[in-house]
Every structure is written in structure tokens, then in C-alpha cells.
């Protein structure tokens, strides 16, 4: 396997793709099933009498009233209301939560826990996580577990066994498709991986690396820390920080909660309106074709998702920047995620994205569109 097919993720080495090309892996997500090792996610277990209180004061959503078995996608902020990280919070019991994050978060939770009766445990090493994503995910997984997956609703988690090994199965994922994430003891990971491959082979299961996942997550409109936004804890200047409202996560901010870190600043911003918006962008195909036609070439499209800052313009003035994008083989569209000044963020707004056509910078016409770009019914059904 060639070296370029490995990459770093949170201190682990993971496969960019298991095959030399990643497109079969991407297509499996949308057409059959893909199995991904997402173990490098940071995972924390919060337990104790004040566990719900601690989680509630850190995240922007309401954790006090979350039901056991509920999973919440949320972000958390510093006291100025700028996003530090995003991840999922699963209520596993009355006094037990599991939190996943992209950056190490133990210290932040520990600082917040001062005076509270709550214990935070880093279970990143001891807990493995596998994501089974795609239209056939349920059929494959159901063969291996007694849990009733047909009735496991979107963003719910259940404790069960998989071939007699204790696991938790959540109906979540990073692909915007029907899919599950399986949380298990690290020492069972190989056995469960093999079991899933074995049960999934008749259904076309394919191990999938980061390149395939990256395209799927852009189609699903899901942002990525350090790619699409900078953590308030890592930002070197104020201008690099974003609020939840600026990241299109305003829906998650629960200002009715009595207090949480950043609430005061967020209440002000909610009243004032955000300065920036995080948007989906669809590049106008005809226009792109024409730009290439000028140099007598057919449009050249990125084979992989890109992760660089690309200027966005309105009438020649830069109004924002795209942070990741790809050609969607499924939708046959060139799509991207980006930040624009709030005034230009409404769906239907016209703007232009910089493209390099045969070494020369051009501006391709584009439209702001709602995300997700691809949102199949099976995701929630």
C-alpha cells in the first residue's frame, strides 16, 4: 500500500483509503454499506450525581432534560460564546453521559467540573468505535444483534450485545445516510470488525477510509474542526473564532437554559444577529464548463475533497471563503462549504467562487443552497 494512503488522526495512523483509489469506498456509503474505524475520536465518560449539570453547563443544548438513550449533536463554547469543539453527547444513564469530540476535551470539562460531583474519564483508548454506514447498514447489523434496530430512532442509542460482546449501538454517523455507530471495548474491536465484514459481504460491505468519508460528510453538510472552523482554544487571533450562530448551529443553542458557558455573549449575539453564516455552495455547472471551454478543455474536477481556503466573491468584492469542497459523484454537482458575511448567506444568493483554470484564477458563478446537499429519507426512517 502506498504511503500517501495513511494519515494522522488525533495521534493515530488511519487509512485514507483501503484501496489505491477511494471511489469504491465512497460509493459503498451511498449504495451498499461502508465500515469505518472512527476510534480516534476523543471519548469521555461523565458520571456522578452532577453529571447532567456538568454537561448542561458546558454544551449549548439542554442536557438536563435529555432522555436516557438520547444522543445530541452539539457544540460547546468559551465564555465569549465562541465555539471550542463539536461532537455528540449520549445520555447512557441518569448519571452517565458519553461525549465525543474532535479535540482533547478532558481539561475543559475538568475545569468546568470544579465544585460539582462529577467524574470525567478519558475512555478514548479503552473504547473503540466503528461506523457502519449506508443503505444496507441495518440489514447487516441486525443479523448480529438482538436489539430491534428497526425501532431504534435517529439519534438514539441502545446498549446490547453483538455476538455476545457488550456494545452500544447508536443511530448516528458522519455521512448523512442510514447508519450506525458501534461503541465497544477496544479488545473486542477486531472480532467485531471481522463479524461485520463477514455478515456484510453478501450486502456489499466495503472498508472505507477517510477520503471516502470526507466526500460523504460534505454532501451531508457536516463541518469539520480545524478544516471548516477553528477552535476558540486554538485560534491565534479573534477573527479566527466563530460563534454557533456563525456556524449554522444556532438551532442548537438553548437560551432558555438558566446558565451555560458563553450564554451571556450568545444571548447578545442572538439579539443582534451573527456577522457570518456557514453555508452550502453549489457551483454553476454551465459557467464552469464555459470557463474551461475558453481554454479548450472540458471541466476538470477534484477527485478528492479539498481542504483549503478559497475566496468567495460578490460583484468582485471578497465576501467570504469556502473551506472544503468536492465534486459529488452522486449528485453530479460541484459543492462546497464556506463562510460568508451574513448578508450574503441566504439560500438563493448568488456569488462567485475562485477556481483555477489552467493555472489562471477565474471566478465561477455559484449559488448558496441549503445543507445537507444530499438528505435521503432513509437517514431518519
Partner 1 sequence: MSRSVVVIGAGTNGLTAAQILATSGRQVIVLDQKQPADVDFDAGWVPPSVRAALNIQPEAEEQGSWLVMPMEGGRFELFADIARSAESIRRLSPRDASRWPEFCTRMRRLAGVLETLYQQNAPDVETTDPGELMHLALLGLRVRGLGRQTVIDLLRILPMPVAELLDEWFESELLKAAVGSTGVMDLCQGPRSAGTAFVMLHHHVGRPAGVFRPLRTSLRSTLSKRTNVEIRHDAAMHLEVAGERIRAVTLESGDTIETDCLVSSADPRRTMLDLLDPGWLDPEFMRAVHNIKMKGVAGTVTLALSCEAPFRQMSLAPSLTHIERAYDDVKYGRPSAQPWLELRNSGQKIEVQVQYLPQVPREGAWDEAGKRSLGNDVARRVVDAAPELKDAITGIRVMTPLDLDAHGGLTGGHRYQGDLTLDQILFMRPVAGWSRYRTPIGGLWLCGSGTHPGGGVAGASGLLAAREILRDAR
Partner 2 sequence: MAANRYDAIVIGGGHNGLIAAAYLARAGRKVVVLERRERVGGAAVTEEIFPGFKFSMFSYVVSLLRPEIIRDLRLPEHGLQILPLESTLTPMENGDYFAAWADHDQTRRELLRHSALDAEAYDEYGRLMYHMAHAVKPILGMVPPDPASLRPRDLKGMLAVGNHFRSLGAEQFHAMFKLMTMSSADFLDEWFETDVLKATKSASGIIGTFLGPRSPGTAYVLLHHYMGELDGVFRAWGFQKGGTGGISEAIAASARSLGVAIRCGQTVQKVREKDGRVRGVVLENGDEIDANIVLTSLDPRRSFLELVDRKALPDEFVADISRFKFRGSSGKVNLALGALPDFTCMPGFGPHLRGAMSISPSMDYVERAYDDAKYGEFSKRPYMDIVIPSLIDPGMAPPGKHVMSVFVQYAPYNLNGGWTDAKREAFGDAVIGAIERFAPNIRSCIEHRQVLTPLDIERITGLSEGNIFQGELALHQLFFLRPAPGWARFRTPIRNYYQCGSGTHPGGGIMGASGRLGAMAVLEDHA
- Cα 84 to chain centroid distance, Å, stands at 15
Binding mask 11-30 for partner 2 (x = CB under 8 A): x-------------------
Kindly tell me which of 72 and 77 has the beta carbon lying closer to partner 2.
77
Residue 53 interaction partner, one of partner 1, partner 2, none, beta carbon < 5-8 Å per kind:
partner 1
Smallest CA-to-CA distance from 116 within 177, 46, 49 is with: 49
Please name the residue ranges forming H helices in the chain: 23-31, 51-58, 106-112, 137-142, 189-200, 210-219, 263-272, 285-293
Q: Which of 114, 150, 236, 237 binds partner 1 (CB under 8 A)?
A: 114
Residue 79: φ, ψ to 5° = -70, -15
Residue 54 interaction partner, one of partner 1, partner 2, none, beta carbon < 5-8 Å per kind:
partner 1
Q: Give the chain's count of helices (H) and strands (E).
A: 8, 19
**Would you tell me the crossing angle of helices 23-31 and 210-219 to the nearest 10 degrees?**
50
**208, 25 Cβ separation under 8 angstroms:** yes
Residue 8 interaction partner, one of partner 1, partner 2, none, beta carbon < 5-8 Å per kind:
partner 2
Query: What SS3 class is residue 198?
Result: helix
Place of cell 444513564: 93
Binding mask 6-45 for partner 1 (x = CB under 8 A): ----------------------------------------
Residue 104 interaction partner, one of partner 2, partner 1, none, beta carbon < 5-8 Å per kind:
partner 2
| 150 part of the interface to partner 1, by CB under 8 A | no
CA dist 76 and 242 (Å) reads 11
Q: What is the maximum alpha-carbon separation in the chain?
A: 68
Kindly tell me which of 230 and 340 has the beta carbon lying closer to partner 2.
230
Residue 48 interaction partner, one of partner 1, partner 2, none, beta carbon < 5-8 Å per kind:
none
Q: Which of 53, 233, 290, 333 binds partner 2 (CB under 8 A)?
A: 233
Beta bridge partners, 115, equal none
| 197 part of the interface to partner 1, by CB under 8 A | no
Question: Least distance in Å: CB of 79 to partner 2?
Answer: 11
Question: Least distance in Å: CB of 143 to partner 2?
Answer: 37
Kindly tell me which of 40 and 311 has the beta carbon lying closer to partner 2.
40
Smallest CA-to-CA distance from 324 within 353, 360, 345, 291 is with: 353
CA dist 337 and 320 (Å) reads 11
Q: Which of 24, 32, 73, 104 binds partner 2 (CB under 8 A)?
A: 104
Q: Which of 111, 295, 297, 301 binds partner 1 (CB under 8 A)?
A: 111
Stretch that binds partner 1, among 62-70, 126-134, 258-266, 370-378 (CB under 8 A): 258-266
DSSP string, 50-107: THHHHHHHHBSS--TTPPTTBEEEEEEE-TTS-EEEEEEEEEEETTEEEEEESS--HH
- Cα 157 to chain centroid distance, Å, stands at 18
Question: Least distance in Å: CB of 44 to partner 2?
Answer: 10
Binding mask 112-151 for partner 2 (x = CB under 8 A): ----------x-----------------------------
| Joined grid coordinates for residue 18 | 483501503
Q: Which of 8, 151, 296, 317 binds partner 2 (CB under 8 A)?
A: 8
Size of site (CB under 8 A) for partner 2: 12
Interacting residue ranges for partner 1, rule: CB under 8 A: 50, 53-54, 57, 78-79, 108, 111-112, 114-116, 258-259, 261, 264
Amino acid at each position: 500500500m502506498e504511503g500517501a494512503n495513511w494519515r494522522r488522526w488525533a495521534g493515530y495512523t488511519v487509512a485514507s483509503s483501503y484501496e489505491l483509489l477511494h471511489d469504491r469506498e465512497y460509493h459503498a456509503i451511498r449504495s451498499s454499506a461502508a465500515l469505518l474505524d472512527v476510534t480516534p475520536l476523543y471519548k469521555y465518560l461523565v458520571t456522578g450525581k452532577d453529571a447532567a449539570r456538568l454537561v448542561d453547563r458546558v454544551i449549548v443544548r439542554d442536557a438536563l432534560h435529555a432522555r436516557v438513550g438520547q444522543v445530541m449533536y452539539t457544540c460547546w463554547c468559551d465564555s465569549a460564546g465562541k465555539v471550542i469543539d463539536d461532537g455528540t453527547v449520549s445520555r447512557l444513564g441518569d448519571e452517565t453521559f458519553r461525549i465525543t469530540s474532535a479535540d482533547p476535551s478532558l481539561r475543559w470539562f475538568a475545569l468546568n467540573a470544579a465544585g460539582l460531583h462529577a467524574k470525567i474519564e478519558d475512555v478514548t483508548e479503552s473504547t473503540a468505535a466503528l461506523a457502519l454506514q449506508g443503505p444496507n447498514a441495518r440489514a447487516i447489523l441486525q443479523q448480529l444483534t438482538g436489539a430491534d434496530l428497526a425501532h431504534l430512532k435517529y439519534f438514539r442509542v441502545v446498549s446490547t450485545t453483538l455476538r455476545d460482546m457488550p456494545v452500544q449501538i447508536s443511530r448516528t454517523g458522519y455521512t448523512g445516510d442510514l447508519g450506525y455507530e458501534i461503541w465497544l471495548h477496544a479488545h473486542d474491536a477486531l472480532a467485531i470488525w471481522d463479524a461485520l465484514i463477514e455478515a456484510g459481504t453478501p450486502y456489499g460491505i466495503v472498508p472505507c477510509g477517510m477520503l471516502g468519508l470526507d466526500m460523504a460528510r460534505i454532501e451531508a453538510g457536516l463541518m469539520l474542526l480545524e478544516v471548516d472552523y477553528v477552535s476558540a482554544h486554538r485560534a491565534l487571533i479573534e477573527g479566527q473564532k466563530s460563534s454557533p450562530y456563525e456556524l449554522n448551529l444556532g438551532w442548537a443553542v438553548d437560551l432558555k437554559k438558566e446558565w451555560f458557558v458563553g450564554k451571556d455573549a450568545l444571548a447578545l449575539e442572538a439579539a443582534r444577529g451573527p456577522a457570518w453564516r456557514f453555508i452550502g455552495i453549489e457551483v454553476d455547472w454551465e459557467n464552469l464548463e464555459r470557463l474551461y471551454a475558453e481554454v479548450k478543455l472540458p471541466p476538470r474536477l477534484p477527485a478528492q475533497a479539498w481542504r483549503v481556503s478559497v475566496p468567495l466573491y460578490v460583484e468582485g468584492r471578497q465576501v467570504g471563503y469556502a473551506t472544503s469542497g468536492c465534486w459529488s459523484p452522486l449528485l453530479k454537482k460541484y459543492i462546497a462549504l464556506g463562510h460568508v458575511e451574513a448578508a450574503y448567506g441566504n439560500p438563493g444568493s448568488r456569488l462567485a467562487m475562485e477556481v483555477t483554470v489552467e493555472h489562471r484564477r477565474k471566478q465561477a458563478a455559484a449559488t448558496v443552497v441549503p445543507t445537507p446537499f444530499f438528505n435521503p429519507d432513509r437517514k431518519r426512517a
